[in-house]
A = this chain, B = another copy of it.
């Protein structure tokens, strides 16, 4: 009974992560009923992104140029290579202005249950990138989730086997953190990773 263009739209919206049949229908009705201008902008943005965006040949982040502006920047310290899971993580690190080295974006994390192995997240590309002869230290900045930790461990072993110096960003209490309000696992890790003063 439903018109076919509507069914096609609802079906197509399900490519979005976390969107099932009911949210897809709700999204389609919303676009068609309340925001046709926004819907047209969305379709155009997808087309243009697919057409223009590729991976930076050096850091694997999304880039419109063959090499992204960060990798082209001669003021960045090429001896430091920071490995992150996703572009959003890179952006968070950049916002802090606390890091002046280069990056490598895995575009994922090891997740064997989802069929994401070392090949899918481009660990081979990372190995080639890290062995450019300039990199002196690889900083693993994947998340402190089970999958992020496994990714850091696996990548760390591979990198060390190639004679590279590898580090992991620190675990511990957050800035301003109070023992009373921080979870036990974080406190245990902060104790374990204590530093001499």
Interface residues of A (CB under 8 A from B): 1-6, 8-9, 11-13, 15-18, 22-23, 25-33, 35-36, 38-53, 62-64, 68-70, 86-88, 90-91, 94, 107-108
Contacts and interface: CB of A to CB of B under 8 A. Distances in A.
Interface majority SS (helix, strand, loop, mixed), chain A: helix
A43 B49 CA distance: 11
B38 A6 contact: no
List the 8 closest pairs (A to B, CB-CB), nearest first. A15-B38, A12-B45, A43-B46, A9-B49, A12-B42, A5-B52, A43-B43, A9-B45
Give how many copies assemble into the complex: 2
A173 to B, nearest CB: 24
Contacts of A44: 12, 43
A46 B9 CA distance: 6
A44 B15 CA distance: 13
